[in-house]
Amino acid sequence: MVGRVGPATLDLSEAHRFPNRPVRLGAGLHWDVPALFQGVLDGLRQVARSGGAASVGIDSWAVDYGLLDADGQLLGVPHHYRDARTAGTAETLRDRLPARELYEVTGIQHLPFNTVFQLAAAAGSAQLAAARTLLLIPDLFIHWLTGTVGAEITNASTTALLDARTAAWSGPLLERIGVDRALLPPVRRPGDPAGTLLPYVAEQTGLPRDTPVTTVASHDTASAVVAVPATGPDFAYISCGTWSLAGLELDAPVITEASRAANFTNERGIDGGFRFLRNIMGMWLLSETLSTWAAGGLPADLPPLLAGAARARPFAAVIDPDAPEFLPPGDMPARIAAYCARTGQRAPADQAAMVRCILESLALAHRRVLRTAAELAGRDIAVVHLVGGGSRNDLLCQLTADATGLPVVAGPAEATALGNILVQARAHGAVGALHEMRSLVAGTQRLRHYRPRGEQRDWAAAAARIGLG
Ligand code: LFR
């Protein structure tokens, strides 16, 4: 994505799009990092052809990493967080690393695939023994672009290895899982310079060698929240893509027994802020459903399915999107039907009903998480900003307004790319403080507004049916 930023300008255009397709190697699910890095180089070549760039920045989803050996070479193929090897790891660690203690130090929600558990699952492996440096995926790509090493802080916080109070790697936690402190590189902050292009990158792309690579909020969710077009303080956000990340922006973490019990996380944002949020399974449920249908020869074109879902009977069946069986890739319609059977509901009767069930259930989860966030942080919510690819889904935006009883502002869909670019622009003097970046987004991007309709009690009744009240 190429961004152009000026005092009253924020334009985004696509230079090159390529799929991020995980690969199965033996029993494992992995990142296809060579193909992705080639995609980055191809994209940069397009950028060079259309006049170059003042800066380059990289983000990706969180928690995943590559390991380098003593020569700086990648060891093995990085795992995808949906790989099955961490199933049960947290439980086997319970005595050595009690969940309560892990949360007290890091403030990070329990997700079975957090880096801390991925590393614990790898303990004793030849690969980990040979590793000298761990790089989170965006940092790995920066390493291949520039030769530098670092751990960008917004992403580093998602590992559940960073001390929430000191923002430094936690020696005691690393010791508990038997990982050498030296594996973790120094922390970098959004806006920090990350180096310039290596000769082979300049050669392959046609960009000048002195093109700066800038540290951005390299966790995609952190970048998306930078680009939330909020104009006042009382906002909540839902960064809705593969996941729905719903919560608040806070100046300080909330690390209490109640926030732990509700599984709320305190991920680091830019400028010392925190994203107090909870993961919700998100559009993954829908995308896996569509893939399953397509593979079975059923219609899988989204617009007509959404039109059908908008007409389908409300609250015919609802699920808790965060039930663990929905995490791995696979046959979502069958899993949803099994969930319904288990909870005494009739499974969605047709495709439209299935899509309605997924979207209403996501809206229910949005409602529950935002209410809990407000309660735990002692804050009021006046408006919900729904950003990311899911903001294109009109029905989901309306159902979220209905379920939360709050106005929803939808867009921008490319919030992550905008946040990435704005942080680079700020580092190079093209835009000011966070609130100025957000005003620029609000003033330049097309947003849609939804008012709540219907009765709150219907949502409360549906929530109670599946224990989400
Ligand atoms: C969103 C996201 C979430 C993180 C999950 C796994 O793309 O980065 O914030 O919990 O993916 O990394």
Q: Of ligand 1's atoms, which has the minimum distance to the CA of residue 279?
A: 10
Provide mean pLDDT across the span 394-412: 98
Residue located nearest, by CA, to atom 12 of ligand 1:
62
For a pLDDT cut of 90, what percent of the chain falls above it? 98
**Confidence at residue 251, expressed as pLDDT on a 0 to 100 scale:** 96
Question: What is the 8-class DSSP label of residue 219?
Answer: B
| Nearest CA-CA partner of 270 in 384, 63, 392, 420 | 420
- 80, 243, 276, 322: which to mutate for ligand 1, most atoms within 8 A of CB? 243
Band (443; pLDDT cuts 50, 70, 90)? very high
Quote the mean pLDDT of the chain. Answer: 97
Question: In angstroms, rounded to a whole number, what is the distance separating the alpha carbons of residues 338 and 331?
Answer: 11
Q: Of ligand 1's atoms, which has the minimum distance to the CA of residue 239?
A: 1
Q: Are 289 and 312 in contact (CB under 8 A)?
A: no
- 158, 159, 420: which to mutate for ligand 1, most atoms within 8 A of CB? 158
**Confidence at residue 466, expressed as pLDDT on a 0 to 100 scale:** 87
Band (266; pLDDT cuts 50, 70, 90)? very high
Measure CA 446 to chain center.
22
- 220 labelled catalytic: yes
| CA 170 to ligand 1 centroid distance, Å | 22
**Confidence at residue 468, expressed as pLDDT on a 0 to 100 scale:** 77
What would the two tokens of residue 288 be? 């896996």
Phi and psi torsions of 250, nearest 5°: -125, 160
446 burial via Cβ count (<10 Å: 0-12, 13-18, 19+): exposed
Binding site membership of 62 for ligand 1 (Cβ less than 6 Å): yes
- 59, 239, 279: which to mutate for ligand 1, most atoms within 8 A of CB? 279
For residue 469, pLDDT beyond 80: no
Has this prediction a pTM greater than 0.90? Answer: yes
For residue 435, pLDDT beyond 80: yes
Q: Are 437 and 269 in contact (CB under 8 A)?
A: no
Domains of the chain: 58-214 (3.30.420.40), 229-469 (3.30.420.40)
Question: In angstroms, rounded to a whole number, what is the distance separating the alpha carbons of residues 247 and 254?
Answer: 12
User: What Rg, from alpha-carbon coordinates, does the chain have?
Assistant: 22
Residue located nearest, by CA, to atom 4 of ligand 1:
62
**Confidence at residue 467, expressed as pLDDT on a 0 to 100 scale:** 85
